[in-house]
Amino acid sequence: MFTIKGKTGDWEVVVGLETHIEVLSKSKIFSGASADYNPTVTPNTQVSFVDAAMPGMLPVLNEYCVDQAIKFGLAINAEIAHKSRFARKQYFYPDLPQGYQITQATSEPAVVNHGWIEIMDDDGNPKKILIERAHLEQDAAKNKHDMHPTKSFVDLNRSGVMLLEIVTALDIKNPENNSYITSPDEAERYLRQIREIARALGVSKANMEEGSMRADVNVSVRPVGEKTFRTRTETKNMISFKFIKNHIENEARRQIEIYENGGTVSQDTLRYHQDDGTSSVMRSKEDALDYRYFPDPDLLPLIITDEQIERIRKTMPELPTATRARYIEKFGLSEYDAARLTETVDISHWFDLAVGDKTERAKGIANWMISELFAHPENYDITNEKSGVVDGMRIITPTDLAELVDMVSASEINGKQAKDIFIKMLDGETGTPRAIADKFGMKQITDTGAIEKIIDEVIANNPSQVEQYKSGKVGLLGFFVGNVMKASGGKANPGVVNEILKKKLG
Ligand code: MN
Return the closest-CA partner of residue 233 out of 26, 58, 16.
16
99 Cα to the center of ligand 1, angstroms: 15
Q: Where are the beta strands (DSSP E) in 287-361?
A: 294-295, 302-303
Residues above pLDDT 90, as percent of the chain: 75
409 Cα to the center of ligand 1, angstroms: 54
Helix 345-355 × helix 320-331 angle, to 10°: 30
466 Cα to the center of ligand 1, angstroms: 76
What DSSP line would sit under 173-221, residue for residue?
A: T-TT---SB-SHHHHHHHHHHHHHHHHHHTS----TTTTSEEEEEEEEE
Neighbours of 490 (CB within 10 A): 18
Min mean pLDDT across 191-195, 353-357, 501-505 is at 501-505
406 burial via Cβ count (<10 Å: 0-12, 13-18, 19+) = middle
- The dihedral of CA 123, 125, 131, 132: what is its sign? negative
Question: Can you give the pLDDT at residue 29?
Answer: 98
What residues have their beta carbon closer than 5 A to ion ligand 1? 165
Question: Can you give the pLDDT at residue 175?
Answer: 64
419 Cα to the center of ligand 1, angstroms: 51
Question: Can you give the pLDDT at residue 288?
Answer: 64
332, pLDDT greater than 80: yes
Min mean pLDDT across 15-29, 63-77, 165-179 is at 165-179
135 Cα to the center of ligand 1, angstroms: 8
**Structural domains of the chain in order of their starting residue, each with its CATH number:** 3-309 (no CATH), 320-439 (no CATH), 448-505 (1.10.10.410)
Tens digit of each residue's pLDDT (9 = 90 or more) over 153-186: 999 999 999 999 999 998 777 766 789 999 999 9
Question: Can you give the pLDDT at residue 139?
Answer: 96
Quick one: pLDDT band at residue 286, thresholds 50, 70, 90?
low
> What single letter denotes the amino acid at residue 197?
I
Return the closest-CA partner of residue 73 out of 324, 302, 313, 323.
313
Each as own residue / partner, the long-range contacts of residues 33-40 (CB below 8 Å, 24 or more positions apart, any chain) are 33/160, 35/161, 35/162, 37/155, 37/157, 37/158, 37/161
Question: Can you give the pLDDT at residue 267?
Answer: 93
371 Cα to the center of ligand 1, angstroms: 41
Question: Can you give the pLDDT at residue 176?
Answer: 65
Neighbours of 87 (CB within 10 A): 24
163 Cα to the center of ligand 1, angstroms: 8
300, pLDDT greater than 90: yes
Q: What angle do CA 142, 280, 153 make, to 5 degrees?
A: 20
> Rounded to an integer, what distance in angstroms lies between the CA atom of residue 485 and that of residue 416?
10
Min mean pLDDT across 61-70, 252-261, 293-302, 378-387 is at 378-387
Task: Look up the pTM and report it.
Answer: 0.77
Q: How large is the average pLDDT for residues 306-332?
A: 94
Instruction: Judge contact between 15 and 180, C-beta under 8 A.
Output: yes
- SS3 of residue 242 by DSSP: helix
> Rounded to an integer, what distance in angstroms lies between the CA atom of residue 24 and that of residue 268?
33
